[in-house]
Chain A
Amino acid sequence: MLILKCPYCGVDAEETELAAGGEAHLKRFGPGSSDDEFHDYLFMRENPKGVHFERWRHANGCGKWFHAARCTQTLEVFGTYSAQVTEPPQEIRDAITAKRPGWTWREFE
């Protein structure tokens, strides 16, 4: 069972109270982009064994979207943070580095 702390209301919400929103920090390629970029934006997703970043919504709760950093292998949660960012904040990166030195995920490390 996954338990994530909602950064907006502070509740330690368990998985059944949340709705999964897929991969985090996608960069949109819309009109004007090349076919390859648009294809990658639509279909190509990370599927790591280890550190992963996801979007979640506190659906049965305050209703807000947020980001979570967790490990897909151990279900360990490194932290949750605001939805209003385009990359993981430094304290989240530090928390992951402390547990998984040398981690990388897409362009982040």
Chain B
Amino acid sequence: MSNLASALNGASFKGLVTVTEAGLVGMITLRGDLSSAKLQAAVKVACGHDVPEPRKIAGTVDGGVAWMSPDELLVLVPYAQVEAKLSEMTAALDGEHALAVNVSDARAVFRVSGASAREVMGKVAPVDFSAAAFGGSDFRRSRLAQVAGAFWMDSDDSFTIICFRSAADYVFNLLSTAANPQSSVGVY
């Protein structure tokens, strides 16, 4: 059995905020008709949550589901269970025009936590991170400087960020630079 490793082996940086590579997370991309009862049941089977409203996430990285687009969800499960959950989902989707694929190894996950988390994210993504505009169960697909990324807040001062694994090094350096201790701006 090969030794499974995440993109950056849990690298971390401490500055304005703590940037940590969060290790392996099981992720299943699910495309289909989100209003279908069968698809909703399959999501419930896999992660225990209902299909969220647009731009929302239900649950956490250990078991959750995020709204990616009008016909796409991202199901989050523990990495060790991803194959089992995927076959449960595929069985539950039998006969449905839908597709579920394990994309865990195509992704990297980061956590940005600290009092200035909103500010650091605001430097790299074209999104309003004020507490009134973003928080709670909000989930956003956007860009992190030059690469695609998605993020949500798991608490008032902590973000979880998903990006492509091939861009993991770029995103880590980007976030670390944005979190340089001498680069405080003081917004949010």
Which A residues have a C-beta under 8 Å from some C-beta of B? 8-11, 13-14, 16-17, 60-64
Contacts and interface: CB of A to CB of B under 8 A. Distances in A.
Contacts of B141: 9, 60-62
A13 B125 CA distance: 11
Contact of B55 (A11, A14, A17, A63): A11
Contact of A17 (B54, B69, B70, B143): B143
Contact of B69 (A8, A13, A60): A8
Interface of B: 54-55, 68-70, 72, 126, 140-143, 148
Nearest to A63: B69
B134 to A, nearest CB: 11
Contacts of A61: 69, 141-142
A10 B148 CA distance: 18
Contacts of A11: 55, 140
A9 B70 contact: yes
Contact of A16 (B54, B70, B143): B143
A86 B76 CA distance: 38
A71 to B, nearest CB: 22
Contacts of A10: 54-55
A64 to B, nearest CB: 6
Nearest to B69: A62
A83 B86 CA distance: 32
11 contacts: A9-B69, A9-B70, A10-B55, A11-B55, A16-B143, A17-B126, A61-B69, A61-B141, A62-B72, A63-B69, A64-B70
B70 A62 contact: yes
A13 B55 CA distance: 13
A64 B55 contact: no
B54 A14 contact: no
Given A11-B140, A13-B126, A16-B143, 13 more contacts: A8-B70, A9-B69, A11-B55, A14-B126, A17-B126, A17-B142, A61-B141, A61-B142, A62-B68, A62-B70, A62-B72, A62-B141, A64-B70
A14 B126 CA distance: 7
Contact of B54 (A9, A13, A63): A9
B54 A60 contact: no
